[in-house]
Amino acid sequence: MGTLKDKLDRWAVADAAALHASLTIFCCWYNHVRPHQHLGSLTPMEAWEGIDIRRPPRRRLWFEGWDGLLQGEYLQR
C-alpha cells in the first residue's frame, strides 16, 4: 500500500469514475511492469506464472501512466 499512497499523493482525480480508471492503470503497472525487490526483481505476475527471467522477452513495450508517475518496461515473455 505504500507505493499506492506515495503515487496517489502526487495524482489528482476528478471523481469516482476517474479514480476507478486510475486504479486500473495502477494495478496494471504494479503487477505487470514494476519489479519487486522481495520477489527477486520479478513482477508479481512473473512470480505468479513462474516465468524464467533468463528467457529473453518476445517484446518490450514502454508503459507510462498518470502523466509519467507510473512508468517502466513491460516485458512480454
Domain boundaries of the chain, sorted by first residue = 39-77
pTM of the model: 0.87
pLDDT of residue 9: 87
Residues 52 and 66: their CA atoms lie apart, in Å, by: 30
Q: Are 75 and 63 in contact (CB under 8 A)?
A: no
- CA 32 – CA 76 distance, rounded (Å): 9
Residue 29 predicted with pLDDT over 90:
yes
Band of residue 26 on the pLDDT scale cut at 50, 70, 90: very high
Alpha-carbon gap, residue 70 to 12, rounded angstroms: 14
pLDDT tens digits, 32-74: 999 999 999 999 999 999 998 889 999 999 999 999 999 999 9
pLDDT of the residue at 20: 96
d(CA 29, CA 15): 21
